């Protein structure tokens, strides 16, 4: 459930008309709902009720300071994957002991940064990383709390570009060699082995792969304990999928996911962390765009809109589907016609939808791309010198621009001209 609904024939975000925001901010823009963000965070928090847990929002999904602050104030921790994300989390007021550092390529500088300001744990992904972490921590006179990310060789049954839990993927250490790597970790200075980490992919719409992975992690916990490691924390990653279409079967609910976690690892007496990103932010955000032209082509009609692949790259990159709805609610029973919905960027990949049925639209009409809150704004670029589009946050009947649209001067003046020119 989200808070983008029609009211009296107009699309609202909570208690604000989307058209009113469009008039103030101009199009295109991203629009997030505070109530939806909080609702989704709380669904996870409640799903893990009864066991010691922390929901660490995977901020790669949407990392605006206002979004981070909203979630952090509700009690969320953060999962970060770069020094930049770590600094964003700290700037948003997240205490270091609620920040988890994931990622396959942490540099010594990033490790030092996190050890200086505080970290809940590093999720270590390889033996070389473990050695660098040990050396940096030891050198600083600190102890780095860690889990080791294991690769359980499980097929997440999702898009190949976002599956991470198969042995051919770059992530984690093979679960079969985990005991050796834990033995090494236990012997290195500056390292405190806290637990195990696993993350098998994103947009999972079935609980079975999670169950396979979590069962393997539970078995490993017992083996590692028998080997003498004090395994007291399991980071079970993110990945629960969201409904991108209203017609599709709904993916499992956080409550069902939570029940599965309790079933798989509840008996171990561990503290559980999860790292959801998409489910918290995805349906809490839309991208609002305006029709520039309706172009009648040979055998197909195009809606050319002012948003483009540089603003929302998911359709071009993952063949992703986003529901696209008009901001003015179509009259019941109105005739729909198929359109290709495309942006102004000069490549055919700049296509949001092919032959999508839409009610009659004319130049100037507003449309909304649903499910755009996760991996939307954060993956945007300025390709074609199109400014990064603004982000707006709604809270009840209030709204605020949380990232303004840059001016062309700001964009152009970021370049510097060498002396020889
Ligand atoms: N934890 C780790 C270690 C991750 O790599 C990810 C996502 C998450 C948590 C959060 O997963 P989520 O709950 O959001 O599924 N850009 C792609 C998605 C990339 C996901 C990368 N890792 C997309 O637009 O579909």
Q: Is the CB of 40 under 6 A from ligand 1?
A: no
Instruction: State which residues form the domain around 202.
Output: 34-280
Cα 347 to chain centroid, rounded: 26
The set of catalytic residues is 346
User: How many structural domains comprise the chain?
Assistant: 2
Question: Which residue among 44, 213, 273, 278 is best mutated to probe the pocket of ligand 1, counting the most ligand atoms within 8 A of its Cβ?
Answer: 278
Residue where the block lists tokens 């989390």: 89
Please indicate, yes or no, whether residues 132 and 260 belong to a single structural domain of this protein. Answer: yes
Listed residues 251, 280, 309: the one ending a domain: 280
> Cα–Cα distance between 284 and 122 in angstroms, integer?
28
Please indicate, yes or no, whether residues 263 and 289 belong to a single structural domain of this protein. Answer: no
Looking at residue 382, its pLDDT comes to 97
Please indicate, yes or no, whether residues 40 and 27 belong to a single structural domain of this protein. Answer: no
419 within domain boundaries: no
- List pLDDT tens digits, range 147-176: 999 999 999 888 888 888 877 788 899 999
Average pLDDT along the chain: 96
Residue 417 burial by CB count (10 A; 0-12/13-18/19+): exposed, middle or buried?
exposed
Distance (Å) from CA 62 to ligand 1 centroid: 11
Please indicate, yes or no, whether residues 311 and 235 belong to a single structural domain of this protein. Answer: no
315 within domain boundaries: yes
Q: Is the CB of 202 under 6 A from ligand 1?
A: yes
- Is the per-residue pLDDT at 1 higher than 80? no
Listed residues 239, 256, 280: the one ending a domain: 280
Looking at residue 358, its pLDDT comes to 97
Question: Which residue among 37, 40, 59, 60 is best mutated to probe the pocket of ligand 1, counting the most ligand atoms within 8 A of its Cβ?
Answer: 60
- Is the per-residue pLDDT at 85 higher than 90? yes
420 within domain boundaries: no
Looking at residue 221, its pLDDT comes to 98
Q: Is the CB of 45 under 6 A from ligand 1?
A: no
23 within domain boundaries: yes
> Cα–Cα distance between 381 and 383 in angstroms, integer?
6
Please indicate, yes or no, whether residues 349 and 201 belong to a single structural domain of this protein. Answer: no
Please indicate, yes or no, whether residues 215 and 104 belong to a single structural domain of this protein. Answer: yes
> Cα–Cα distance between 205 and 252 in angstroms, integer?
7
Query: What atom in ligand 1 is closest to the CA of residue 239?
Result: 15
Where do the DSSP E strands lie in 152-198? 173-174, 191-197
Q: Is the CB of 375 under 6 A from ligand 1?
A: yes
345 within domain boundaries: yes
| Residues with Cβ within 8 Å of residue 391, at least 6 apart in sequence | 29, 30, 31, 32, 64, 66, 377, 401, 402, 403
Closest CA to 314 of 392, 375, 264, 383: 375
Residue where the block lists tokens 């962390």: 273
Looking at residue 297, its pLDDT comes to 87
Looking at residue 218, its pLDDT comes to 98
Please indicate, yes or no, whether residues 214 and 79 belong to a single structural domain of this protein. Answer: yes
Please indicate, yes or no, whether residues 87 and 133 belong to a single structural domain of this protein. Answer: yes
Please indicate, yes or no, whether residues 354 and 393 belong to a single structural domain of this protein. Answer: yes
Pairing of strands 391-395, 398-403: antiparallel
Query: What atom in ligand 1 is closest to the CA of residue 277?
Result: 14
Q: Answer positive or negative: Cα dihedral of 77, 149, 133, 190.
A: positive
> Cα–Cα distance between 150 and 403 in angstroms, integer?
37
417 within domain boundaries: no
pLDDT grade for 208, boundaries at 50, 70 and 90: very high
| Residues with Cβ within 8 Å of residue 72, at least 6 apart in sequence | 78, 89, 92, 93, 94, 98
Taking the complete model, does pTM exceed 0.95, yes or no? yes
> Cα–Cα distance between 380 and 291 in angstroms, integer?
20
> Cα–Cα distance between 130 and 146 in angstroms, integer?
9
Distance (Å) from CA 233 to ligand 1 centroid: 21
Please indicate, yes or no, whether residues 27 and 52 belong to a single structural domain of this protein. Answer: no
Looking at residue 247, its pLDDT comes to 65
pLDDT grade for 111, boundaries at 50, 70 and 90: very high
Please indicate, yes or no, whether residues 96 and 239 belong to a single structural domain of this protein. Answer: yes
418 within domain boundaries: no
Looking at residue 159, its pLDDT comes to 87
> Cα–Cα distance between 29 and 137 in angstroms, integer?
43
> Cα–Cα distance between 68 and 70 in angstroms, integer?
5
CATH number, domain of 363, equals 2.40.37.10
Listed residues 280, 315, 340: the one ending a domain: 280
- Contact 195/235 with Cβ under 8 angstroms? yes
Distance (Å) from CA 408 to ligand 1 centroid: 32
Query: Which residue has its alpha carbon closest to ligand 1 atom 23?
Result: 375
275 within domain boundaries: yes
Please indicate, yes or no, whether residues 95 and 59 belong to a single structural domain of this protein. Answer: yes
Q: What angle do CA 318, 324, 328 make, to 5 degrees?
A: 165
Residue 116 burial by CB count (10 A; 0-12/13-18/19+): exposed, middle or buried?
exposed
Per residue in 177-189, is it b (16+ CB within 10 Å) or e — as a string?
ebeebbeebeebe
Pairing of strands 173-174, 144-151: parallel
CATH number, domain of 190, equals 3.20.20.10
CA atoms within 13 A on the CB side of 125: 15
């Amino acid at each position: 459930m989200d808070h983008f609904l029609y009211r009296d024939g107009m699309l609202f975000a909570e208690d604000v008309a989307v058209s009113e925001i469009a008039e103030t901010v101009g199009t295109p823009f991203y629009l997030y709902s505070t109530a939806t963000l909080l609702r989704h965070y709380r669904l996870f928090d409640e799903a893990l009720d009864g066991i010691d847990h922390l929901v660490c929002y995977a901020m790669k999904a949407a990392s605006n300071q206002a979004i981070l602050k909203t979630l952090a104030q509700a009690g969320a921790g953060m999962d970060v994957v770069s020094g930049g994300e770590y600094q964003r989390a700290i700037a948003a007021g997240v205490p270091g002991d609620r920040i988890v550092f994931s990622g396959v390529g942490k540099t010594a500088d990033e490790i030092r940064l996190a050890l200086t300001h505080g970290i809940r744990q590093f999720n270590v992904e390889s033996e070389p990383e473990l050695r660098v972490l040990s050396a940096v921590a030891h050198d600083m006179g600190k102890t780095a709390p860690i889990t080791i990310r294991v690769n359980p060789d499980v097929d997440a049954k999702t898009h190949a570009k976002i599956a991470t839990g198969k042995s051919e993927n770059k992530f984690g250490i093979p679960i079969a060699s985990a005991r050796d790597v834990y033995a090494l970790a236990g012997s290195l200075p500056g390292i405190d082995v806290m637990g195990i980490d696993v993350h098998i992919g994103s947009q999972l719409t079935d609980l079975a792969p999670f169950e396979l992975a979590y069962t393997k992690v539970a078995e490993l916990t017992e083996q590692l304990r028998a080997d003498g490691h004090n395994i007291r924390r399991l980071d079970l990653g993110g990945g629960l999928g969201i409904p991108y279409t209203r017609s599709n079967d709904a993916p499992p609910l956080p409550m069902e996911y939570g029940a599965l976690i309790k079933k798989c690892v509840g008996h171990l007496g561990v503290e559980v962390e999860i790292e959801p990103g998409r489910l918290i932010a995805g349906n809490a955000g839309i991208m609002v765009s305006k029709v520039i032209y309706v172009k009648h082509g040979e055998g197909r009609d195009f809606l050319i809109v002012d948003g483009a692949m540089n603003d929302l790259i998911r359709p071009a990159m993952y063949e992703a589907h986003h529901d696209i709805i008009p901001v003015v609610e179509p009259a019941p029973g109105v005739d729909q016609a198929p359109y290709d919905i495309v942006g102004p960027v000069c490549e055919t990949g700049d296509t949001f939808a092919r032959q999508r049925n839409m009610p009659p639209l004319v130049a100037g009409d507003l449309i909304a791309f649903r499910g755009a809150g996760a991996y939307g704004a954060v993956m945007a670029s300025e390709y074609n010198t199109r400014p990064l589009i603004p982000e707006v946050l709604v809270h009840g009947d209030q709204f605020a621009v949380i990232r303004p649209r840059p001016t062309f001067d700001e964009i152009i003046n970021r370049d510097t001209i060498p002396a020889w020119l």
